[in-house]
Structure 1
């Protein structure tokens, strides 16, 4: 035979008065709930007595046969009319027997079921009467609660509470986090089991925790005091007391002093123990608070992962809500190890759902070890070879990003006055105002001559050199990579209406990608501008600074100098991920190798690296 255990939170707040009523006959168990907003104090108590008495009369009239769900709805609606309960009040009827639970709700109430470790909302009312009926199983746990408990604390709190060993423990966990304000806060928890029945206990909202611990503690120490006193008295030797001519025996005085000293010691121990017990109680409440929040966070993160493929928007919403909860968790007395585990799990899930990674960059290479005072300002990555230019110091450095081997390939004579550079495998080309130069260990050689001014950019791709002339708003292509590039050819087939004066960075992967200072992105292919939404990226970055990609990389990478972040998009304009550059400050250039799973950040004298976690 199934047994029912229950515990409750009721309220006598000025803005909300509530009470539960139980009724048993035969194999039936009834719970009746009334929550009043329109009555207070004695008026509410009198209204409740009338309401519960009317309900009992109606139920007992049906005790010969099991009341049906429809009959419960009739009873609830009839009692509302007869006792003049308003539409703002909350009502609930719960009927249980060995096989079935029937629930009727009115007002703003919700019913949850924890079965086999899964939490389900089985009924929810918003003003209108809502009813549900279904079979019950051993070890089912139910909770009927006011809706504000769910909206304020989330389902994670409900699940964590119902996972406790008993309804009383569930209520105690809830009381550790529920507000003591004027909100509607009431709750019924009942479990179905085959354990031996015990008398359920009602826990009022304000007194549930306050005195139980101290009563138990006081009884324990009272017994301890009696035991210790009895023990010491037995140790004292029996002596006959003789009084002569009004002279008191000295032994009596000594015994009195000993008894007084023992009493002082015991009182001191009692005070210490009470203080210790109070401290332990405070710690227990704090632990319940952070454990409940941690359980809620884990529940929301699990739900976010499960919904990611089905409902990405809801999944992102859950992760963002967890992000808002973390500062509150940090304020509680949670051990650093447990807090670290929560943060680690959040970082993992937020990376998958939000695409946000806050990993601190690691030092990849100190460039000053290759050349004293080296201050890299820009670079060009071609496959695994990175060329870095120090414009102020007049130095060019070549780096193998796999082995970290470095070599100075140019000095002031070769690179002084350079505007930009383009690497292609082991070759490197530097752009100056009047010409393009090829630079290697043997020196520099002019390979194309033209007046570019100081407002142009250079790239090398597929055996050709490309120049973006921002002043002339055109793109020139130089065929071949030999010692004589000849004259540049106009690459654009439709140059009218193009304005490249605001372009700050560009990249080539077969298409040509242009980024302007406002974060707008333009894509060109075969000399023509493609129709794409140029504002997609500007929604995510504040100050656009660099764009990079290649034919080996399947994504576009943007450096936002305003927020020190790297934002990743696929080549169709879809958001993929976001990386923080931490406390690096002014990042001057970025280079990405998806095959090596690295982002390289140039800060001047150093190169830092970030792992491409979104590729996992």
Structure 2
């Protein structure tokens, strides 16, 4: 039986080491990816590459070294975007280990109290060898090899050992270790751990042969009359014995598969618990991996009491490790009907402590000072036309209407000035944003973001925010935000990011539950995070700006919220629903 364990420590967004373990659909081959890299947004990119490699592994008919060649070619092509990368790609087929190492990583064999560097002088080459009972193979990053005595490494609890070494040796860089352990086969094993599933190998031996033949001899007919009955009984006995043998073999395979999954799941879970305070992101990754392996085990044995107990243990720890915070109290911050009877809006725009709201029906533009809760009607009626979009940027407030174009309202001078006339080249303007005194219009049907720059006499002619090579699909755009980069939320939970007119990489990563229906989002130059209003799952998902999950707020009112803004300095989240603004705390 082959068991696996892994451990990492010191990961950041720019220096990242991780191990991935996959089992082929036929359960006859394991694939291991051991990856260490430096660069931008590494956790997202690494997990994406691992997912694509897993898909290649599942679809490929190749095995052993043949698949390894496919995997190496795939990896070399995909990791070119990293600044510096090292990896080991390995497969285990019928106790034969095939691996390929490249970069600052090493593979060691621990056998009979001796240590052998398998990768010495063989980097860039495929190495293979048969594993024996009691063997341990370690894949390690070079910095760990240089600072620790691998021969004395405590592999019984690898995660704790690596974390201890990192602290003891004061290692500041990312380190990682992956263990392959060939355990001795045992016919009967006492279960000391209620969640460990030892493989009990039950073999139908040749000792069955004699009793079976004796039984058939006793039933052997004395005359031709009983020959038919004898043949039928013989066939029944042989069939039953064959079916029972197959049952035992299948049961043995099922137990072995379940054992591997549960051991892997518990290893990931232990790592998640150890990392939850020092490295919440890596703790979350390990917990999700643990949950994934346990779910696979439950599909095999859905009613197994020990698996269900383990699932319950996971559930009790989930909120702490996954950073899920339930919101039960949603106090009303401001009732907009107090401004004007029947006042209602669907959008919030925020800048420097002020919120701008527009009632499209009553054609009323209102600026709210969040500190004093005092609303101020800026304009309305014919001055803003049939406005349906509004944006605040410092002292300037902007509205857009198809009959007036863009109108600017100065908060101090209280003047209403048409600044950008109606343009016949516009199609469907889906959003308006004022940022750094510039005005941006999202033109959904033209797949354009029009940018207007202030001049002495007003604003410039429109020009495309995108450079000549950038082709953007803005169909289905719901909202635009700007913080130096331009962000666009589209239907289907898609978020586009553009920087300096060029498409920029952005992907949401490390969610335990896929996004349901994101209807609005908030990001600005005053925030370090992105806030996604996921009405489909009644939550607000909070991401770092590189797309990595940070935490989430869960509550029933999120299901009916129309829009949101965040004040990170005050740790406040403002939620709009109809004619009320609610206030909840953030982390």
TM range (shorter): 0.3 to 0.5
TM-score (norm 2): 0.47
TM-score normalized by the length of structure 1: 0.45
